[in-house]
Amino acid sequence: MPERREQRRRTGFEDSGRTYRLHPSPEQAERLRAWGHTCRAVWNMALEQRIYVHRQRGRTLRSGEQCRFLTRARRDLEWVADLPSQAPQQVLRHLDRAYDNFWNPDHPAEFPRFKKRTSRVAIPLPGQAVRVTKLNRHWASARIPKLGEVRFRLSRSLGGEIRNVSIRADAAGRWFIAFGVRVPAQWAPPNGKPPVGVDFGVKHSAYLSDEEAPRLMDRTLTDGEKRRLVGLERRRERQIKQAKQRNGGKYGNRLKKTLRAIAELRARQARRRLDFTHKLTTDLAKSHGLVAIEDLRVRQMTKSAKGTRDMPGTRVAQKSGLNRAVLDNTPGERRRQLAYKCPAYGSVLVLVPPAGTSQTCGACRARDAASRVSRDAFVCTSCGHTDNADHNASVVILDRVPAHRPRTAGHAVHSTQRRPLVGRPSPAPRAGAREPLTFSARALPRGQQEIIRNPRSG
C-alpha cells in the first residue's frame, strides 16, 4: 500500500485490476492449458537454474541473462516455441519479482517455490501483446498472439491503459482473463461518518461495535451439496486406489469426471464466500469514517497441531476443524479488501493489536480471562458489565484506536475528527507484545488519509 500511495502522489495515476470471464472454444482452451503447463515448466527450470548457479558460483541470475538461454530453448524445443515469445519472458520477470520480495525484509514472501502440475495454470502476457475490441455492451474480444480472437464477458469497462494481462483457469476449468490497467487516481475526501470496531469471528462472521446483531454469512454449501461433496470425495479415494492397483496410477475418465465435479462444488463455495466478503467490506468502508480491526496473523493462527514424530500433537482433529472455520471466514481477504476500499470511500483502516480483546471489558477496560464465562457470554469480574463476547470485543477494538480514547472531560468519545491526531505516549509493552498500529488524519492530496506505524515510547 505505501507503494501505491507514492505512485498516486507522483503520477496522479494508479494500477488497478479488472477480471473477466473468458469463453474460449474447445480448441483454444486445450491450447491455453498446454501453454499454462509450459509456463509452469519455464518457471521451474528457471528457478532450478538460479539455485544451481548460486550454489556453484555464489551469484544470482536475473531475467535478462536467462532470456538468452530461453532463445536457445525455443530453437531446440517445439513445445516451448509454441508459446508466444512474450509469455516466458513475463514468467522470468515474475521470478525476478519473487526474488525481490524474498530479499525485502518488509515483505512477508518466502523463497520462491517450484510449481506443481496440479497448480492452476496461468499465462502472463505484456499489455502491448493483447488487443481488446469491444463488440457490444456485454461482450468484447481479446486478440491473443498465436491464438486469435477470444471472447470474454464485458462485465465492466476497462477504464484505462492495459499494462499487463494474465489468462488463467480455476480448478473447475473456467477460464478468466485479468488486465492490469493504469487508471486516474481517485481521491475521496473524509466522509465524516462515525467510526466502528469490527470483530471477525468464527461463529459470527462479523460483529460491529455500533450494532446489536452480528453479520452472518449464509451457508456456502447447502445440506444437499455437503452430502454430495462427501460422497464425491469418498468415490475419489476409491477410484484413486483402484487406479494405482489396476492402471499404474493413471487417471481414467471416470476419476477425472469425479475430480471435476468436486472442483465445481468447491468453486461454487468460493464464489459465495467471496460475494459475501465483498458486500461486507464495501458496506463497512462506505458507512463509516474509520474501520478498526485486529492485526491478526492468520498463517500462525491456522498452523496444524499434529506436531512431529517425536513430539506428536494433541487434539489434532479439533484444531483442524477450527482452522477450516477460521479460513472459511477469510479474515486475510477481508483485511486486503478494506485496505483499498477504505481510501476509495473516504474512510480509514486501523489495525490494532489483538492480544486480550476477548478478555477485556468494554466498559471498565479491566482484563481478566475469567470474564469470558462461555463462548458467547462476557461478564466482567470487576464491574459486572454483561455483553455478548464478540460485541464486547468489537468495542474493545475500537477503544484501542489511540485517537478515540477518552482524554479529558468535554471531548467526544468515538467521534470522527478531521484535525491531525497524535497518539499519546503509552506504557512500555509487555515482553513479546507487538507494536500498535495508529493512524494519521493529516491531509494528503485531495484529503486522502493513510495508515502509519508509530513506535511505542516507554
Catalogue the active-site residues: 199, 294, 390
Backbone φ and ψ of 201, nearest 5°: -120, -165
- Kindly give, in sequence order, each residue whose CB lies less than 8 Å from that of residue 329, ignoring residues fewer than 6 positions away: 200, 201, 202, 205, 217
Note the residue count of the chain. 458
Q: Diameter of the chain by CA atoms?
A: 80
> What secondary structure does DSSP assign to 294-361, as a single string?
E---HHHHT----B-SSSB-SSHHHHHHHHHHHHHT-HHHHHHHHHHHHHHTT-EEEEE--TTTTTB-
Q: Are 60 and 32 in contact (CB under 8 A)?
A: no
Alpha-carbon span 253 to 247, nearest angstrom: 12
Q: What cell does 24 get?
A: 474460449
From 300, 296, 303, select the one nearest 335 (Cα to Cα): 296
From 99, 85, 100, 103, select the one nearest 42 (Cα to Cα): 85
> What secondary structure does DSSP assign to 221-260, as a single string?
S-HHHHHHHHHHHHHHHHHHHHHHHHSTT---HHHHHHHH
Buried b (16+ CB within 10 A) or exposed e, 256-283: eebbebbbbbbeebeeebeebbeebbee
From 172, 179, 74, select the one nearest 125 (Cα to Cα): 179
Residue linked to cell 481488446: 132
Residues in a beta bridge with 19: 178
H or E element: which one contains 138? none
Q: Classify the C-alpha dihedral 453-440-209-287 as positive or negative.
A: negative
Residue linked to cell 502476457: 125
